[in-house]
Amino acid sequence: MEDRTKVVVAVAAVLTAVVAVVAATLSFGLLFPASSRSSSGPQGQAFCSAATGDWTTYHENNSRDGEQPGAVTAVHPLWDGPTTVDGQVYAEPLVCGNAVFVATENDSVYALNASTGAVLWRTNLGTTVPGSDLPCGDISPSGITGTPVIDTATGVLYVVAYLVPTHHVLFGLNVTTGKVVSNVTVDPDPANVTAEQQRGALALANGIVYVPYGGLYGDCGPYHGWVVGVRTSGSSGLLKYKVPTPREAGIWGPAGEAVAPNGSLYVATGNGASQTTFDFGDSVIELSPTLNETDYFAPSNWKQLNGNDTDLGSTAPTILSNGDVFQVGKAGMGYLLAASHLGGIGGQLYNRSVCGGAYGGTAHVGLSLFVSCTDGVFDVVVNATNFSVAWHTPSFDAGSPIVTGNIVWAVNITSARLTGFSISTGAPVYSLPLDAADHFISPAAAPGSLFVAGGALVYAYALS
């Protein structure tokens, strides 16, 4: 009897230990390996739901606020060290549930454990396009450049990969396993696919994934600005909008497009080829959900902007909480527009110089915008009829900013550091080293945490 009792006790202890291990494993989302032919080296599953604070599209939502609430009093590394991925990262990380999703120029998508940095799964989507296959450009190899988007209702991450032979494919990946669940070629016809670059972030609205296109660095080849739409229902046929210019007018800003509450899209273009007939270069264009042009704005000096390659669309439009639209470009001139009527040529509500030149994506809290410029981050405060600059940081080449409560974060491109500034004054508060800093890179945030890519490394910080 005594031996039997010992066996029972031992078995009970083992069962208790097993239960504890399973519970701990579940808490980190590592219960079963993902099984997908397109995935390699999986460590487990990612769990993603529509939770408050998830960062499932560029700058958190379709109006590109880039804001995560919660005061920050201290910052320290969240992982033991950065996680290495298989290529340069230009896309903003996304955060959903227990996972951070990262896309690389090697045409791979990673799901990383948000608490530890461990690889949950990796899916490689094909062979990247070498720079030697393209007429110009500054990214080689060229794979995934635009920020993906996650549909939390279906658990699908949508991402555009540039593949050999040269073409763009919109893939849908199961966020839990990384398995490919859909794919469709999204090159607009009759576009020259070697001259089109998919740099702008994807957007999901109206049951449609929107994909913007611009040109390569150097403005070579017969490219045009395009927006392509793919219905998530699987209905056949692409929705398409082409900027009506003989050439150029790319929609290349990293923030892609902003989507209004009524489902309308706002995009901004770079320089068009014409200096005689207005061609929608250097413009803000409103599109219907099915990609029909409904309104537009262009500065009165659009000919000069076209001629000097001074893109208005080096940032995407910002939709403000009062319904107005703000746009700023390479010239550093800001424009306040009425969403009810963008104004046509020269029809802005107000304009004034903001900075030396703006690039990337803005962030905003209410009517306070944070603009990334070649000479720092600028806080632009909007009222009913105009705007003013409240503060600016010390001068540096700034990546696209985001906000976590009382801190505005932006990558210093020149020194490769993630920098944090007081939201009240612009004074520097935090400075964190990165391995590298690709142009226009932007951090992402979740409640109590911050994620940023530096070259082929992904960093995570805990925010107290």
H-run or E-run covering 210: strand 208-215
Q: CB under 8 Å to 304, separation ≥6 — which residues?
A: 310
Q: What is the pLDDT of residue 247?
A: 95
Q: What is the pLDDT of residue 39?
A: 54
Residue 384 has pLDDT above 90, yes or no: no
Q: Is the dihedral of CA 139, 331, 291, 256 positive or negative?
A: positive
> Sorting pLDDT into bands at 50, 70 and 90, what band is 113?
very high
Strands 457-463 and 75-77: antiparallel
Distance CA 359, CA 316 (A): 9
Mean pLDDT of the 334-358 span: 97
**Whether 342 contacts 325, CB under 8 Å:** yes
Taking only the tens place, the pLDDT of each residue in 410-432 is 999 999 999 999 999 999 999 99
Of 14-28, 95-109, 423-437, which gets the smallest average pLDDT? 14-28
Residue with structure tokens 């009506």?
Answer: 244
Distance CA 452, CA 436 (A): 11
Of 98-107, 288-297, 435-444, 449-458, which gets the smallest average pLDDT? 435-444
**Whether 429 contacts 421, CB under 8 Å:** yes
Q: What is the pLDDT of residue 191?
A: 81
Whole-model pTM: value is 0.90
**What pairs with residue 377 in β-bridges?**
372
Residue 136 has pLDDT above 80, yes or no: yes
Q: What is the pLDDT of residue 34?
A: 30
State the chain's mean pLDDT as an integer: 91
Q: What is the pLDDT of residue 8?
A: 37
Mean pLDDT of the 177-193 span: 93
Q: CB under 8 Å to 17, separation ≥6 — which residues?
A: none
For residue 143 the two structure tokens come to 């794979």
Mean pLDDT of the 108-116 span: 97
Backbone angles phi, psi at 3, to 5 degrees: -65, -40
Distance CA 303, CA 327 (A): 18
Distance CA 147, CA 177 (A): 20
Residue 12 has pLDDT above 60, yes or no: no
Taking only the tens place, the pLDDT of each residue in 428-451 is 999 999 999 988 999 999 999 999
Q: What is the pLDDT of residue 47?
A: 85
**Whether 90 contacts 138, CB under 8 Å:** no
Taking only the tens place, the pLDDT of each residue in 233-266 is 988 799 999 999 999 999 999 999 999 999 999 9
**Whether 222 contacts 247, CB under 8 Å:** yes
Q: What is the pLDDT of residue 51?
A: 74
Residue 297 has pLDDT above 70, yes or no: yes
Q: What is the pLDDT of residue 43?
A: 58
46-463 CATH pick, 3.60.110.10, 2.140.10.10, 3.40.1280.10, 3.40.50.720: 2.140.10.10
Mean pLDDT of the 273-298 span: 97
Mean pLDDT of the 269-276 span: 95
Q: What is the pLDDT of residue 29?
A: 31
Domain boundaries of the chain, sorted by first residue: 46-463
Q: What is the pLDDT of residue 66?
A: 97
Taking only the tens place, the pLDDT of each residue in 22-66 is 333 333 332 222 333 345 544 578 888 777 789 999 999 999 999
Residue 3 has pLDDT above 90, yes or no: no
Q: CB under 8 Å to 120, separation ≥6 — which residues?
A: 29, 30, 34, 42, 43, 44, 45, 46, 99, 111, 112, 113, 178
Q: What is the pLDDT of residue 268?
A: 98
Mean pLDDT of the 117-133 span: 97
Q: What is the pLDDT of residue 407?
A: 98
